[in-house]
Structure 1
Amino acid sequence: MSKRCILSLAFAGASLAASSAAAQTVGDPQNPIFRNIYTADPSAHVWADGRLYVYPSHDIAPPRGADLMDQYHVYSTNDMVNWVDHGEILRASNVPWGRSEGGFMWAPDVAYKNGIYYFYFPHPSGTEWNTTWKIGVATSTQPAANFTVQGYIPGLESLIDPAVFVDDDGQAYLYYGGGGVAKGGKLKANMMEIDGQMQNMQGLVDFHEASWVHKHNGLYYLSYSDNYDQNGEHNRMRYATSTSPLGPWTYRGIYINSTDSYTNHGSIVQYKGQWYAFYHTSMLSGNDWLRSVSVDKLYYNSDGTIQLVKQTKQHGTPHFGTPLAIPGLIQAEDYDNGGQSISYSDGSPQNEGGAYRPSEGVDVGAIPSGGFHVGWVSSSEWAEYTVNVATSGNYTVAARVATQTANGSSLKILFDGQKVGTLAVPNTGEWQTYTTVSTQVSLTAGKHVIQLRFGDAFNLDHLTFMKQ
């Protein structure tokens, strides 16, 4: 077992710090909430001890797609700010029927019934992993320790992402799926067998994976990840509702937009009177397969629909002490202070160019004609700039860019987390042959944080914002 530790998120970075024994108030989390290891696919629950527990999967560095995922940890909190890592509770080598190569411990879930915690996890039983998935079950009398594998649920298809919902009457339901297939069914009282047949979940739109069921004001909600893959953005979280835990379901919409990660997977839970949406991003690593759990507040409308969740993160401070002015010119290398996952996300720890701010991770090179460029970029990487917009209105934003990438690249522009424009970066023939591309954006006056999300392989010299 790993050593139990306390993560204090009142401070930036991945350091471990002591936490007070008891929190006085529930605060706002600072994303990503776990920074000691990479975590994804969060399953959040509140148990009888009054703490909120999160059971995520674990991305292992260096990444190799999702193959190396293993070694489940458990985290808990009583204030949504300070999190305890209770350490490792299970790994592939603990699974008697599992594949000998290990890995492939994907999104789990946990349920509680009659004094026992049931930990559900997908894992293949053979080398041909995609055709041998089983839903394993481990049990413990504690929520975050001493889990023992009891076996797997018999008779299921080779699918993933188990989620278990226990209704008010004590009846438990299992949901799982993947690749467009979503199924649900009753569990027997032993919580390890299906009672009857698994059913196709009817009424879902563009289901991909990541089933999760919760209940609000007597209505059942099934949330899931879709197949969205456009303009460099990927899976979003959708949801449907029903008056029955097994549907049929009525599709209601999207509640989390794409993040900076290739995947999306979440859970929804109420804690101390506030609803929360858990999900994962790549903001800590800049790599699609080294993900980190985030959480934001979730709100319902009066008709039971869910408002679009506002994705938040901790921001840095202006590089020169005061916000950059709009209208005006913003040099790419003058990103905010704060470091990895706060003011930027870079996939490699070293500054590849080393020409400017060499102790930081953003790759900055010199331009032969003078000045600097941000380069060596790849998808999932970003940089932030605190700005002050003088007046509201429409602006032309122009970027000076260069690339030898055959099909060009792209640059997305976000203000306060909302995308306002995308610039196509054409192939200019040489890395130091620059051209200017532009688009129109609508901005509001005041202080804002610009986030630039980079596509693959291009150099960015500067941005210019001009009032129309």
Structure 2
Amino acid sequence: MNKRLISLFLSGTMLLSVFMGFTSSSSSAAEPVTTSGNPIFTSIFTADPSAHVWNDGRLYVYPSHDIFPSRGSDLMDKYHVFSTDNMVDWVDEGEILSADDVPWGRPEGGFMWAPDAAYKDGTYYFYFPHPSGTNWNDTWKIGVATSNKPASDFTVQGYIQGLPGSNLIDPSVFRDDDGTYYLYAGGGGKSYGVKLAANMTSTDGPLKQFTELEDFHEATWVFKRGSTYYLMYADNNPGGNRMRYATSSSPLGPWVNRGVILDPVVGSETTHGSIVQYKGEWYMFYHNAKISSNGTLRSVCVDRLTFNADGTIQKVVQTSEGVPAVGPRSTATEVKYYDLINENFNAYTQKTEYAMNASNVTFGGGATRSASNIIENMHTQGSYIQLNGINGGAGGKALLTVQYASGDSGAAFKVDASGDTAGDGYFLSLPGTGGWGNYTGRANSLIDLNPGTNNIIKLSGGMGGANISRVTVSLVPQTTPTTPIEYPMSGSNVTVGGGATKSGNGSIENMHIPGSYFEISGVNGGTGGQKLLTVIYASADSQTTFKVNASGDPTGNGYSLTLPGTGGWSTFTGKVSRIIDLNVGTNNVIRVSGGMGGANVTRIIISSVP
């Protein structure tokens, strides 16, 4: 599944655009960032993180996925995996499993709750709870999927037979020092453990219930430190569950209760987590609702965990900073939360406003338009506003701004836009403004649009109310290069093939070989259309012909370019030009193919047509 990303904002003037549809980003080694920030996953809503360190040296997190609009937790689906090699830069490895992949699963889908994973003898095992029937709470199964990779190509193998069907959720799989594996699961106040058979898909021995755990609710996690086994779980604390833990000298108890190690989290009554050691440090992963302010749209966080000298655990301090890096900076797809909330949109100056009575605005699903041209009743399930014929310019990122009033404490919209390649939409949070007539709310979200003027933007309600007065779409203005842009052949955006080579002096040689070519990517076409291509070269041949292909060529046939000889292979006095077509923006590719005479090329130049 393609990457989705989140963009966020805070309060009435800056809001949080969360979810799905941003582009990936890469962290740079030059950035001064040294901590992960919390939450750590900002591309989609995630909860119930299970963290593991595999033999490749990376730490992997297997969370559940809150789907927007959440409708409680029944729509949870589409498991993703995230990984890191330094605790700071996180990669969404993509979707590994959905309800559609479970042949024995509930016909209506959904209910893909907290999972876990294990590794044995070259196989990765993914354990997930899922009902097999419409009566979901009495038909829970612990499914098993396998792969030879930690974050892709999982196939459902079935489910573990002989387990209770009621409230059996939140599987946790623990490997003991002797290579024995144990399965833990439970919910609704009942906690269980059982030894797994060698095949990892069935049990070996009786199921044991841990009645000694104090105020057990759900969310079991088991790990070992030294000779002590630790069992962490969520309790039933009113208003917000807490994480408690117990210890034992045996993987199946009896357990000694040790108290609370994580207080209720921000914005969510639920809690669920995992504890793991990585590169010498201990961590607790957990979730909160800091991004969405909605307890069923959660986000994974991580903080350090500390043991006392006697092996007991200090209560984990929940921070906004997260944890420091434990290795050099690396590639990341997850934008850090603190970068999101500090993001500005000063470059988006090409604004188009749409009043709610504009001819391209439609609404439905219970939404209504008042006499003063305000769209109301967006709290109704199924309500929506749709804007047609939106100009996306050259395509790519656009800033959506919704002007509104809300007497609720907070509302949320799902935003769908034509350019969203992932198809999941974007989450838009609308904090309350103090009244239904107080139009001081400004909610912003970066969305993706296609090039041109045929884009559609749809705002879907049903999670709190907001009256909408207008919507603004802002673009970064496209500029046509007035100054010629040179692309040297030594540039990192230039590739060669088919026998063509890059020389030490920065020129491309051996273009006489049939099949030879060089390709320049990231060429700026400005506003698109006709541009002047100029090639600087040397040639001892009397005449050479190149074929030029360019992104904006409407025919697809390419262009012919004739290069007269310059009298020598090092006489770089040759300069030939011709008009080509480029697309709007900076994603153009120009390919020059040889094989009809030789020429050594040092650079090309793109300029406006005189």
Settle same-fold status: TM greater than 0.5: yes
Matched with 1:131 is: 138
Residues 88-133 of structure 1: per-residue CA shift (max 9 Å, x gap): 1000010010011000000000000011000000000110001100
Deviations 1:297-336, CA, capped at 9 Å, x for gaps = 1111111111111101159xxxxxxxxxxxxxxxxxxxxx
Q: Where in structure 2 are the equivalents of 1:42-61 lying within 5 Å?
A: 42-61=49-68
Pairing of 1:272-351 with structure 2 (within 5 A)? 272-313=279-320
Residues 344-369 of structure 1 show CA distances to partners (whole Å, capped at 9, x for unaligned) of: xxxx99675389xxx9943334899x
Task: Return the match for 2:433 from 340, 352, 364.
Answer: 364
What secondary structure does 1:74 align onto? strand
CA distance in 2, matches of 1:165, 1:257: 25
Equivalent position of 1:183 in the other structure: 192
Give the whole-Å Cα distance in 2 for the aligned partners of 1:79 and 1:73. Answer: 19
Q: For structure 2, list consecutive stretches of 5 or more residues without a partner in the other structure.
A: 9-15, 323-337, 344-378, 380-400, 408-427, 442-610
- Aligned-partner Cα distance in 2 for 1:36–1:257: 26
1:107 equivalent in alignment to 2:137: no
- Of 149, 155, 158 in structure 1, the residue corresponding to residue 162 of structure 2 is 155
Question: Contact 1:352–1:363 at 8 Å: present in 2 too?
Answer: no
Mark the structure with the bigger radius of gyration. 2
Greater relative contact order: 1 or 2 (C-alpha under 8 angstroms, separation 6 or more)? 2
String of CA shifts for 1:56-101, please: whole Å, max 9, x gaps.
Answer: 0001001110100000000000111111101110000100100110
Residue type of the alignment partner of 2:157:
Q
Q: What is the CA deviation profile of residues 415-460 of structure 1, one whole-angstrom value per residue up to 9, with x for unaligned ones?
A: xxxxxxxxxxxxxxxxxxxxxxxxxxxxxxxxxxxxxxxxxxxxxx
Do the aligned residues in 2 keep the contact of 1:275 with 1:297 (CA within 8 Å)?
yes
| Root-mean-square deviation over aligned CA pairs | 3.4
Secondary structure (helix, strand or coil) at the match of 2:431 reads coil
Q: In the alignment, what sits opposite 1:172?
A: 181
**Aligned partners of 1:170, 1:25: CA distance in 2, in Å?**
42
Q: Which structure 2 residues correspond to residues 445-464 of structure 1 after superposition, within 5 A?
A: none
Classify 1:352/1:175 alpha carbon distance in 2 versus 1 (closer, same or farther; 3 Å).
same
Within a 5 Å distance, the mapping from 1:28-67 to structure 2 comes to 28-67=35-74
Deviations 1:159-196 (A, max 9, x none): 11110001111000000000110000100000011101
Query: Aligned pairs, how many?
Result: 338
What is the CA–CA distance in structure 1 between the aligned matches of 2:4 and 2:405, rounded to whole Å?
A: 37
What is the deviation of 1:26? 11
- For the structure 1 residues 340 and 363, does the alpha-carbon distance in structure 2 shift closer, same or farther, using more than 3 Å as the test? farther
Q: Pick from 332, 335, 353: which aligns with 2:405?
A: 353
Distance in 2 between the 1:175 and 1:255 partners? 20
Q: Is the 8 A contact 1:162 1:175 kept in 2?
A: yes
Q: Which position in structure 1 is the counterpart of 2:481?
A: none
Q: Deviations over 1:379-438 (max 9, x none)?
A: xxxxxxxxxxxxxxxxxxxxxxxxxxxxxxxxxxxxxxxxxxxxxxxxxxxxxxxxxxxx
* Amino acid across the alignment from 2:250: S
Distance 1:169-1:117 versus aligned 2 partners, 3 A rule = same
| CA distance in 1 between partners of 2:247 and 2:135 (Å) | 36
- Listed as ranges, the gaps of 5+ residues in structure 1 are 316-337, 376-468
Q: Which residue of 1 aligns with 2:2?
A: 3
- The 1:176/1:367 distance shift into structure 2, 3 A limit, reads closer
Question: Residue 221 of structure 1 is aligned with which of 224, 230, 251?
Answer: 230
1:258 matched to 2:264? The reply is yes
* One-letter amino acid matched to 1:248: P
Measured against aligned partners, the alpha-carbon deviations of 1:269-318 in whole angstroms (never above 9, x if no partner) come to 01111111011101110111111111111111111111111101159xxx
Partner of 1:119: 126
Please give the alpha-carbon distance, in whole angstroms, between the structure 1 residues aligned to 2:306 and 2:7.
26
> 3-state DSSP class of the match of 1:93?
helix
Aligned match of 1:206: 215
